[in-house]
Structure 1
Amino acid sequence: MNPKAHQPDSLPAPDAAALAQSAALIELIRADLDAAGGWLPFDRYMDRALYAPHLGYYSGGAVKFGRRAEDGSDFITAPELSPLFAATLARPVAQALEASGTRDVIEFGAGTGRLAAGLLKALDAHRAPLDSYSIVDLSGELRERQQAMLAEAVPALVARVRWLHALPAEFAGVVIGNEVLDAMPVRLFAHMHGTWRERGVVHRDGAFAFEDRALQSTHDAAFLDEIEAGGDYVTETHEAACAFTRTICRMLTRGAAFFIDYGFPRHEYYHGQRTQGTLMCHYRHRAHGDPFLYPGLQDITAHVEFTGIAEAGVDTGADLLGYTSQARFLMNAGMTDALAEFDPADAARFLPAANAVHKLLSEAEMGELFKVIAFSRGIDGTLDAFERGDRSHTL
C-alpha cells in the first residue's frame, strides 16, 4: 500500500519505525483479504487495525494519550484533562461498592493509568476499602505507563493493583470503562440508489478501498429497513460493543458497571440527517475520515448507539442503573463542589481547573455528547449521580 494515497497534506508523516510497523500490519491484512477471497467486512479490518497482536493501534506501541501532537499522542481523554474527573467519579463508585457490599474494581482500557491513580486516591480518602483494583489493557506500552504512573502517584496503594490477561468467570464489584465502547469494531452499511449493502474493504491499485456487497443476512436487512434513509446514507452497527456489554453484565454477579463514552440513543443515532455515519479517525490530535491512513498508527472510532448497549445489558438480567449526560452525572456527583474548593485568588491553580471542568461539563464540549450508562446487580434503587436528569426513558 502506498501511504501517500491516503495522506492528507495537513497531517505529519510517521517516522521510519512507525511506517515499518504499519507496513507489517498492511501485509497481515492483505493476507486476511486473500484468505477471504478479496473482501473483508469493515469490522474485520477495524479489528486488525486496532488489535492485531503487536501491530494494531491499541496492541502496539503507539503513544495514543496526551495533550499535544508534539508528544506523539493522538487524543486526550477526560482523566487526562483534570484530576477532578477521577475525584468526582470516585463518589458514585464508592456508593456502588457500599450498596453492593463489594470491595473490588476492574477498569477496562486504563490509558496512562491516571484514572486508576485518581480513583485509588479518592476511594482511599472516602474510606471505601478496596481489596483489589484490576486493569484489563491489551497494550504492553500502556501497561508500562500505567505501572510507572501508579508507582509515582499512589505508592502506598499500588500493591492493590493487578493486570488481568483474561476475564474472571464471575466478578463482584464495580466495572469501569471510560471510552472503551467507541473503540469496538463496527460494521458499515451503505444505502445507495434505494438499496442497503454492506460496506467492506478490498485492496486495489496498491491501496485499501471500500467496496459494497449485497446483504447476506435477513436480520441485517430487517434492522436496516427500520432506518428512514431517504437517499444515500452510510451508518454503523455495533455488534462487538453489544457483545462486550453482555459479557460484562453476565460476569457481574453483584455490583455495578459504568460505561462513559460519546454517542446517542438509537432514535438520534439513526436520524435521517446523519447521512455519513459517525466513523472517525484520530491522528496527532486531528480528526479525519480515512480509516486506511497509516493502519495501526491511528485511532479508528465510532459513536456509541446506547439503546443497543442498554438492551444488551438488560437482556442478561442486569438492571439498568441509569443513563444520562456526562455533565449531569458529574454535577450530580459533586464536580462543581470539588471545583469550589479551589481558591479563585490562586489563578495559577484555579484557572486551569476551571477550564478543564468547563470542557467536561459544557454542552459545546464533552458535557452533552458524552453519556454515562450503568448496569447493576444487587443494588436497590439508584445512585446519587443518576438521581436528577436520568434519561433512561429515551433509550
Structure 2
Amino acid sequence: MLSHASQAALSLPLPTADGLAFSRALSQHISTEIAAGDGWIGFDRFMSLALYAPGMGYYSGGAHKFGPAGDFVTAPEICPAFAQTLGAQAAQILVLSAPRIIEVGAGTGEFAADLLLELERRGALPDSYAILDLSGELRARQQATLARRTPHLLPRVRWLERLPERFDGLVLANEVLDAMPAHLVLWGPTHIAERGVGVDEGRFVWRDRPASGPLLGRAKVLAGECEIAPGYLSEISLTAPAWITEWAGILGQGALLLIDYGFPRHEYYHPQRSAGTLMCHYRHRSHTDPFYLPGLQDITTHVDFTGIVEAGCQAGLELLGYTTQSSFLFNCGLTEILSRTPVGDALRYLPLANAVQKLVSPAEMGEIFKVIALGKGISQPLLGFATGDRSATL
C-alpha cells in the first residue's frame, strides 16, 4: 500500500525485500495518522514521521545511513582532518567556558573519536563528552566506534536521552538543523497556503490548506521582507529556531557551534529559488520526491541562518561568528593538519589531499556549508572566524 513511483524514483536503485516491507509499514503508519487528521497532515508532520517515528523512521530505524554503503557522506566521514581541524576551535571554547562537550546527532561516532583523539593530542581533553542522539541504532554504532578507536577515553563519554537542564561548555551539531521538520508554504495571489499531505488511491499526494497561526504570521513577515511573489513555494522552519531558543535557556557559559548547508534569508528566499530547497537522499542520489520509500531515504531542507540568529539573539545568545566551512577550516589550521602527512608519502597524502579538497572546494562543501557560532560569556573572538566572517550578511 501507498507505493509511489515518481519520474525521479524510476532511476533510483530498488530496495531489498526487507527494506520495502519496512517502508510499507511506515507508510501505513503515516496513512493512519492522515486518516485520523481528517485526511491531511502538514508536511512538517510527514517529515517528522518519515525521519523519526519510533522504531520506523529513517533516523530511528535500522537503515544504514552514512558512508559509501549508506545514502550520503558527511564531512566527518570524508576524512579525519575535519574533526582534527575543528579541534583547535573546540579547545579554545573549552578554555573560555568549561571543559565539557555535547555533540548532537553524532552519526557513526567517527567525528567524536577523531575530535577526542585530537583534543588529547593538544592536551585539551574535556572532562566529559556527551552525545545526544534519537536513534538507538546509531547510539550502538557510536559506542562500538568509540570502543574500537578510543577505548581509553570511554570513561569520559556518555549518552543523553534528552537536553540537559543547564550546560556550560561547547555544543556541537554537524548537519542537524537541515533534518529538523519544516513546513511547506505556497504564497498565492490572495492568500497563503500550507502544503500538506493526503492519500489518494493508496498514494501520498500534496494537498494545500490555508495557513494559520504562527506559520501564517511568519509567512506574512517573510513576504514583506523578501518581496515574495505569488506562486512562490518554499519552506519555513519553526522547529529549528525553537530548538535554538531552548538551548539559549540551557546554556550558561559556552557556545553552540553549528555546521550545515544553507543561506542568509535574502538568499534563501531569492526570487530564483521559487521551488524551495527540499531535497531527498537515497543511495548517494539526490532527488525531490519525499514520498519515495518513506523510512529508507533522508529528507532535508536548507537552513535559514538569519532565522537561527534571530531566535538565538532574541533569547539572550550572542552571535560569535558566521562563515563558510572553507574559511572556518583554514582559520582553524587545516593547512597545518594536512602538513602532518608528508607529501612524499603519496599513498597517504594524495587520498587525504583529495578528501580535504571536497571539504573546502566551492564546487563541493566549502561554500554551501556554513559554520555559525552563538554563545554566552565568551570573552575572546573565536579563531574560526578570524577572517572571512560573513555575519554582516545575515
Deviation at 1:215, TM superposition (A): 2.1
Deviation at 1:340, TM superposition (A): 2.0
CA distance in 1 between partners of 2:212 and 2:240 (Å): 21
Contact 1:363 1:369 in 2 (8 A): yes
Is 2:80 the partner of 1:83? yes
Q: C-alpha deviations, 1:42-72, integer Å up to 9, x for none?
A: 10110000000000000111110012xxx2x
Contact 1:249 1:257 in 2 (8 A): no
Deviation at 1:194, TM superposition (A): 5.9
Deviation at 1:381, TM superposition (A): 2.8
Counterpart in 2 of 1:287?
A: 286
CA distance in 2 between partners of 1:192 and 1:168 (Å): 42
CA distance in 1 between partners of 2:222 and 2:191 (Å): 10
Q: 2:220 aligned to 222, 247, 262, which one? A: 222
Closer, same or farther: CA 192–316 of 1 in aligned 2, 3 Å:
closer
CA distance in 2 between partners of 1:85 and 1:133 (Å): 18
Contact 1:5 1:207 in 2 (8 A): no
CA distance in 2 between partners of 1:53 and 1:181 (Å): 19
Aligned pairs (5 A) from 1:64-143: 64-67=65-68, 71=69, 73-100=70-97, 102-143=98-139
Counterpart in 2 of 1:3?
A: 3
Task: Provide the secondary structure at the position in 1 that maps to 2:260.
Answer: strand
Deviation at 1:231, TM superposition (A): 4.8
Aligned pairs (5 A) from 1:1-395: 1-6=1-6, 8-67=9-68, 71=69, 73-100=70-97, 102-192=98-188, 195-217=191-213, 218-226=216-224, 227-395=226-394
Contact 2:2 2:24 in 1 (8 A): no
Task: Provide the secondary structure at the position in 2 that maps to 1:74.
Answer: coil
- One-letter amino acid of the counterpart of residue 172, structure 1: D
Deviation at 1:224, TM superposition (A): 4.1
Task: Provide the secondary structure at the position in 2 that maps to 1:162.
Answer: strand
Contact 1:186 1:238 in 2 (8 A): yes
CA distance in 2 between partners of 1:332 and 1:245 (Å): 25
- One-letter amino acid of the counterpart of residue 88, structure 1: T
Structure 2 regions of 5+ residues with no counterpart?
Answer: none
- One-letter amino acid of the counterpart of residue 366, structure 1: M
TM-score between both structures, scaled by the size of structure 2 = 0.96
Contact 1:92 1:385 in 2 (8 A): yes
Deviation at 1:25, TM superposition (A): 1.2
Deviation at 1:221, TM superposition (A): 4.5
Number of residue-to-residue matches in the alignment: 390
Contact 1:263 1:304 in 2 (8 A): yes
Deviation at 1:16, TM superposition (A): 1.8
- One-letter amino acid of the counterpart of residue 380, structure 2: G
Contact 2:175 2:260 in 1 (8 A): yes
CA distance in 2 between partners of 1:275 and 1:172 (Å): 41
Deviation at 1:31, TM superposition (A): 1.6
CA distance in 1 between partners of 2:375 and 2:163 (Å): 18
CA distance in 2 between partners of 1:225 and 1:276 (Å): 15
- One-letter amino acid of the counterpart of residue 81, structure 1: I
Contact 2:166 2:251 in 1 (8 A): yes
The share of aligned pairs that are identical, in percent, is 53
Task: Provide the secondary structure at the position in 2 that maps to 1:28.
Answer: helix
Deviation at 1:232, TM superposition (A): 2.6
Deviation at 1:10, TM superposition (A): 1.6
RMSD (Å) for aligned C-alpha atoms:
1.4
- One-letter amino acid of the counterpart of residue 186, structure 1: A
Structure 1 regions of 5+ residues with no counterpart?
Answer: none
Contact 1:249 1:375 in 2 (8 A): no
Query: Bigger shift: 299-308 or 193-202?
Result: 193-202
CA distance in 2 between partners of 1:191 and 1:249 (Å): 32
Contact 2:2 2:27 in 1 (8 A): no
Contact 1:323 1:373 in 2 (8 A): yes
TM-score between both structures, scaled by the size of structure 1 = 0.96
Deviation at 1:346, TM superposition (A): 1.3
